[in-house]
Amino acid sequence: MTPDPTAEPDGGVQSERAVGLLPPRHRVERRAILRWMLGAVAFPGTLTAAVAIACVVWEAARPWLVVVVIALAVFTAVGVLIEPFWRYAVHRWEATDDAVYALTGWIVREWRVAPISRIQTVDAVRGPLEQVMGLATLRVTTASSRGAITIGGLDSDVAAAAAERLNAITQRTPGDAT
């Protein structure tokens, strides 16, 4: 069916068990859990606090603000207590000589694979929180505006080394990346 030599013949694929994806090789740093927790405290947490204060101060709006406060509090609690551990259990990554492969998400999981030959930029990004904790985010973009792969929660040295290596491989891989 397919003229492509790299494609494997499909015979027998459906026979017993379907084809699956192996999980990527490496986990992210355990410190990432704390980083995600602090992130959740920073965004929905402060908003919850602000609305709660408004609820206390502004009596007229209390009947409906209470609902908002409860919703935000649940949201924050999940973000601090559940999401980071769940994410740590899911998140994995791998960079071979041919492709970058990442598994991210918690309620919605996503496997992404990008070939090295299509990579346009490789960045190691470090926000303020990440700098304090010695973490970094590896970001790989391809010619597709939608095809970027972001791997958060890496040790900053590991991320820098991976970025260095990917840049080197990308430069000797032919192609105009479109």
Partner 1 sequence: MSAPGPRPNAGEPNGGGADAGAAVWQRLDVRLIWVDVAQSLLSLVPAAVALVVFRVEPSWGTLGPVAVIGVVGTVGAVADMLRWTFTRYRVTPDRVERRTGVVVRRHRSVRRDRIRSVDATAKLRHRVAGLRIVNIGAGQQSSAGESAFVLDAVRRPEAERLRGALLRTRLGDAPAAPSGATGESVAATETSTAVRPDGAGGVPVEVFARLKPSWVVYNVFNAWAYLMALGLTWGGYWTASMFGLDAAGFVGGLADWDAIGVAWTVVIAVLVVGAVGVVGLAANFFVENWNFELARVPGDDGTLLRTRKGLFTTREVNRDDNRMRGLQISEPVLWRWMGMADTNVVTTGLNLWSLYEPTAILPRGPITVARRVAGRVLGVDPSPLEAPLTRHPRAALRRRLWWATSTAAAVTGVLAWLWLTGVVPAWTLWAGAGLWPLGLLGALVAYRALGHTVAGSYLVVRSGLMSRSTVALRRSAVSTIAIRESWLQRRLGLKTVTAMTSAGWGAYRAGDVAAEDAVAFAADAAPGLLEPFLDRPDPVPGPRRQQAASSP
Q: Which residues bind partner 1 (CB under 8 A)?
A: 1-4, 6-8, 10, 12-13, 15-22, 24-26, 63-64, 94-99, 101, 107-115, 117-118, 142-149, 158, 161-162, 165, 174-178
Rounded least distance, CB 86 to partner 1, Å: 11
Rounded least distance, CB 84 to partner 1, Å: 17
Closer CB to partner 1, residue 60 or residue 64?
64
Which residue has 């990579």 as its token pair? 119
Rounded least distance, CB 83 to partner 1, Å: 13
Residue 86 phi/psi, 5-degree rounding, is -60, -50
Is 163:169 a contact under the CB 8 Å cutoff?
no
DSSP letter string, 91-158: -EEEE-SSEEEEEEESSSEEEEEEEGGGEEEEEEE--HHHHHHTEEEEEEEESSTT--EEEEEEEHHH
Closest CA to 83 of 156, 159, 153: 153
Closer CB to partner 1, residue 45 or residue 136?
136
Closer CB to partner 1, residue 52 or residue 177?
177
Rounded least distance, CB 42 to partner 1, Å: 25
Rounded least distance, CB 36 to partner 1, Å: 19
Closer CB to partner 1, residue 24 or residue 45?
24
Closer CB to partner 1, residue 110 or residue 129?
110
Angle of CA points 129, 134, 136, to nearest 5°: 75
d(CA 75, CA 44): 7
Closer CB to partner 1, residue 129 or residue 157?
157
d(CA 41, CA 12): 50
In single-letter form, the type of residue at position 60 comes to A
Rounded least distance, CB 46 to partner 1, Å: 26
Is 160:144 a contact under the CB 8 Å cutoff?
no
